[in-house]
């Protein structure tokens, strides 16, 4: 039940205007990589347009009525063990949180990018579309 709470909460807040998403506070290389990622993010993901979030942050992006939410520069997932398998999509490793099936985290030095995807969207397509820009900023010199 807890896994469904995040997308549901975002959808409820979406009806009130801009979607509330708590922005992360990346530091150092992660913040610089997030700054490079922000302008590369697509305007459309899985058929939905990018929308506003509150508070405004360069580290947050939302598409649709909060059907997809991205937070760049989050901490390493606490649930992820060194032996956990990552799903590689277009050169980016993604950790699918087993306790929160709507939550995926890109593991790409120097940053972690968290993506929440509602069940009404196609997770594989969303992660594939986001992997290109994430791989580009990770590959750039730091």
* Spatial distance between the Cα atoms of 36 and 80, rounded to a whole number of angstroms: 26
- Tell me the per-residue pLDDT of 18-74, one tens digit each, with 9 for 90 and over: 889 999 999 999 999 999 999 999 999 999 999 999 999 999 999 998 899 999 999
**Is 80 exceeded by the pLDDT of residue 3?**
no
Q: Which two tokens mark 31?
A: 């913040």
Q: For the CA atoms of 51, 100, 12, 23, what is the dihedral angle to 10 degrees? A: -50
* CA angle 54–59–62, rounded 5-degree value: 55
- Tell me the per-residue pLDDT of 88-136, one tens digit each, with 9 for 90 and over: 999 999 999 988 989 999 998 889 999 999 999 999 999 999 999 999 9
Q: Report pTM.
A: 0.85
For the chain, the average pLDDT equals: 86
Q: Give the pLDDT score at 122.
A: 93
Helix (H, G, I), strand (E, B) or coil at 32: helix
């Amino acid at each position: 039940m807890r896994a469904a709470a995040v997308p549901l909460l975002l959808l409820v807040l979406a009806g009130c205007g801009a979607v509330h998403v708590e922005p992360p506070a990346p530091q150092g290389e992660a913040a610089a990589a997030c700054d490079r990622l922000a302008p590369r993010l697509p305007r459309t993901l899985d058929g939905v347009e990018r929308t506003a979030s509150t508070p405004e942050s360069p580290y947050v992006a939302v598409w649709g009525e909060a059907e997809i939410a991205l937070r760049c520069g989050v901490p390493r997932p606490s649930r992820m063990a060194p032996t956990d398998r990552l799903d590689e999509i277009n050169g980016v490793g993604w950790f699918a949180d087993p306790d929160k099936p709507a939550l995926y985290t890109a593991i790409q030095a120097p940053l972690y990018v968290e993506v929440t995807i509602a069940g009404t969207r196609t997770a594989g397509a969303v992660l594939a579309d986001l992997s290109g820009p994430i791989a580009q900023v990770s590959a750039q010199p730091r």
